[in-house]
Structure 1
Amino acid sequence: MAPKRRTSTPSAAQRNQQATISFGKQGLNRVTKTTLAQRDSKATKKDKALLDAVSSHVIDEPTTADAAIQEQAVAELVDTKPSFSDKTDDYEKRAIKVTNAQIKKYWQAKEAERKSPRVHQQGLDVFEKILREFDMSGQYGPCIGIARVKRWRRANTLGLNPPIEVLAVLLKASDQDKGNLQRAHVDELMSSRFIET
């Protein structure tokens, strides 16, 4: 008797008997996503009232970081009043004698070192430009969480030779705007508060 022939193509019966994976009873393990309409229908009056209260609330009180920096600035500025007493350092005496023309000349020299003009600083005065450049100079240590006067003094104590013009700007600007110029702009950006809705 002749041996049975083997076929290389599966028959119709073999094709219909492909193995399937079963995940349990149909419908019990189904994952569904909620639609936008279902999500809105689940919102309660309490959620809407809470959202309205949070979005209408304007935060005016300073954070703990703001308060700490303002406290540092006030403590440092008390020591740096132009009184020429024994407490006043000779650097501070020199800084008080720096004129606005010398400060502008210092800034023009800084700008001359650059190949292209600074971007996004058209609306800033020379004092603010000098202070922001001091903030971004990493050679004087970190600027976040510390008053600018304290940072200048620390850099000076460590022998890093910070520019005397920066101290002059801080002392001159302290009469006009005591708290706001003592905090680095980067620090303000890093600790900005916002509400997501």
Structure 2
Amino acid sequence: MASSILFFGFLALSFIHALASDPGSLQDFCVADETSNVIVNGLACKDPEMVQADDFSFSGLHLAGNTSNAVGSRVTTVNVAQIPGLNTLGISLVRIDYAPWGINPPHTHPRGTEILTVIEGSLEVGFVTSNPENRLITKVLQKGDVFVFPIGLVHFQRSVGNGNAVAIAALSSQNPGVITIANAVFGSTPEIPSDILVKAFQLDKNVVNYLQSKF
């Protein structure tokens, strides 16, 4: 009797685990067919006989991004759009360049956890936990340090010091997406009605109108 209970308990746990994870791959790869009109959750597969080494490679990550912009950073993405062979593999990569005191503004990745390592310089990094705690977890990283940003949570990085900084980050999705908070809130198309933002942020309407004009 006890063994039967344990057996069915194991089956239940296995079933729950199966529902909570992505299905295993049923083939070696599924290189994205960018010419296909088939709509799927991801991208349709290219004929395996047509696959080449270039479908799995990308050149240029050694090049510094141009940080001459308002936030002083530049993100170079390497996801399924750059490497079709990443399709269905659940991983992607970015290089982030920072000018002195440049920031990668508060943002989220709705479909991926991020693990970041500092290649050059020093970075102040952090993320905010979900409601109601909204706890800020932050740390200053040096060259070679690693930090994890859990999926979906608002996070940021800032270069600290007078030199440039560089980081490489991997994300647990072929296309993790990015929602930059300020752009989404104040720069949506069409605009979020200003009276909603006035009440949400407890700001004067003129301030909200100004912020919307900046994005």
Q: What's the TM-score, normalizing by structure 1?
A: 0.23
Which is higher, the Rg of structure 1 or of structure 2? 1
Give the structure with the larger strand fraction: 2
Give the structure with the larger helix fraction: 1
